[in-house]
Structure 1
Amino acid sequence: DGPVLICHLGMSGSFRVETAGSSEVPGSFHQERSKIAAHDHVVFDVTSRKGVRSSIIFNDPRRFGFMLFAEGAPDTHPMLAGLGIEPTGNALDGPLLASLLKDRRSPLKTALLDQRLIAGLGNIYVSEALWRAGLSPLREAGTIAGSAKKAKGQSERLAEAIRSVIADAIAAGGSSLRDYVQADGSLGYFQHSFAVYDREGEPCQKPGCRGHVERIVQSGRSTFYCRTCQR
């Protein structure tokens, strides 16, 4: 019933837990974390029921993250109120995805990165989902929102691909490229399952496809796809 703490990690933020009497951080970091005190912006000192004292530390070298207290329902806060639907679970299905993309003339990948439509979809997972669905990142977003049987099949296929990519990434612990690690400092492993992201020039992994992964730039972001099987 009290204030809610909203935390955003930004690009390089992370939490670590240190137990009193030990200077070791559990897990192994993809990149060594800064020991400069200026990068430890928030420290929560807590004590367990057994009397064990620990510190929960928010570290953010690049300072793109933030923390703030919200009164009332957190989903009505200005930082959250404009966010779209979550990409996990069955709420994101073909008909809903089609309604979100209807009449949009922007490239499909660009539309999927719009956090006002779907919250939490990033550059990597959109590239992977489009590959799984066999859809080109360059096509107009609204082309999968029609009433024709083909468009309905495409929107269903893409919704399923988005859900499966996110589910697989969560199961693998995320994708450790530069700064991302889990709360205990351990790495994620989904990057080892990438089919197209950061695989420019490699053969497409889709069975029967003889194409190769290409890299293009859309809205300042790298896009990886196979033009042979993604239409």
Structure 2
Amino acid sequence: MPRSIIAATILLTFGTGVVDVSSFLRLGHVFASVMTGNLVLLGLAAGTGNGTLARSGGTALVGYAVGVAVSSLVSRPLEGHRHRWAALSAMHLLVLAGWVVLWVTVRDAGTAGESWTLGVAAAAMGVQSSLVRLVGGQGMSTTYLTSTLTRLVWDLGHHGRVGWGDPARCAALVVGAVSGGLLAQHAAAWTPAPAAAAAVLAAALWHRAAPAAIAGAEPVA
């Protein structure tokens, strides 16, 4: 896989850290991308009768599912087209821009504003997951890193070495979370800025790689 594509996935993973932490701290204590965690939180909400947590977890799940579903519908007619990934890249930027606008304008405007902001954030993560799946295959992720960490540790134990992509994505997630946490606490209006900048840079890197090299690529790092 081209190095520019691996670098793009690292940037997107950094953005995921920003989006997830901002959602957890400011949008109902749920995650925009970690649906396993949100399913657990929904179970917790059911068990404790926490309606607010149930609403937030359900909103994130629906938003993420909508992002994946729309990505699938958009990419399906372009099956086999060498620029199919570009359509999802553009859609990812568009939905993420919508999240930025909602964060700045209606995030604090009551329950409805919070829910819309969370739902669009989750939709952006759904589109991002679909894009990365298309580019890097089913083994590549920039939103849920359990499988990435598993592969990293397995390869280290089995082969005694790892590629640079997996550890870099894990580190990027943590750095993004730190950035998002600091901004959400001290400069809330600017919280989306690092994620938006990372997404734009990632899109530029997508376009540096030959579409033919991206299509059907297998993750190698």
Comparing both structures, which one devotes a greater share of its residues to strand? Answer: 1
**Same structural fold, with TM-score higher than 0.5 when normalized by the shorter chain:** no
Bigger share in helix: 2
- TM interval, short-chain normalised: under 0.3
- Larger Rg computed on CA atoms: 1
